[in-house]
Amino acid sequence: MKYFTLIVLTICGLAACTPKIYQSPDFDKVTRRHKLVAILPADVAIHLRPNQMKNLTSEQIKEQEENTGYEIQEAMYGWLLHRSMNYNYTVKFQDIAKTNTLLKEADLEYAEIKTKDRNTLAQLLGVDAVIQDITVMDKPMSDGAAIALVAILGTWGATNKVKTTINIYDGASSDLLWKYDFEASGSVGSSTDQLVSALMRNASRKFPY
């Protein structure tokens, strides 16, 4: 699978804003019954410069957003599985292959997932809660070569800013239980795996399960 290059927090000159965390006052009470959690494909938005928009159709941009969304989902799932060997998580995470199969069988396209009520998704997937990452990529480098790299190599050039949020929703009520906002900016690119590692490495200190 090709990985679109995203910026991450590294020692190469990227700056990260202080993460913002929200946790519902009822989190502990509500999550006592949580046993299985699904990780949804990430909701990705790629904002290009006007001159870059000339080089890609809206369909191509949507395809890139969808591919990146599934890559982030896969990387996050792998990260959580790995970390679960060292942390006593109180929940298990549904295999994303099963998650995506169930979504496909329900005729839910990628763009439709974010429009569905979380209770509906949880019932469909047979889980107690759902996790969804929302990622916004702003202003990739102005050099036209960046767009050529996307088309030819399937990689992004340097990006000025990436904002990503992890949301945990209760499957029974659809209520937002936990939210983690992470933002980084700079000019160094890296893989989707590294973006998720940077995000989750920071989030792990406050990860609620």
State pLDDT tens for residues 37-90: 999 999 998 877 776 667 778 888 888 889 889 988 988 898 888 888 888 889
Report if residue 209 sits inside a domain.
no
pLDDT band at 13 (very low <50, low <70, confident <90, very high): very low
Report if residue 208 sits inside a domain.
no
Instruction: Write out pLDDT tens, residues 95-113.
Output: 999 999 999 999 999 999 9
22 or 146, higher pLDDT: 22
Report if residue 75 sits inside a domain.
yes
Report if residue 46 sits inside a domain.
yes
Report if residue 47 sits inside a domain.
yes
Report if residue 1 sits inside a domain.
no
Report if residue 91 sits inside a domain.
yes
Identify the H or E element spanning 21.
strand 20-23
C-alpha span between 48 and 161 (Å, rounded): 11
Q: Is 50 exposed, middle or buried (0-12, 13-18, 19+ CB in 10 A)?
A: exposed
**Closest to 15 (Cα-Cα) out of 186, 208, 209:** 186
Please state the domain count of the chain: 1
Q: 47: domain range? A: 6-203
Report if residue 70 sits inside a domain.
yes
* pTM, to two decimals: 0.79
Domain of residue 58, CATH code: 3.40.50
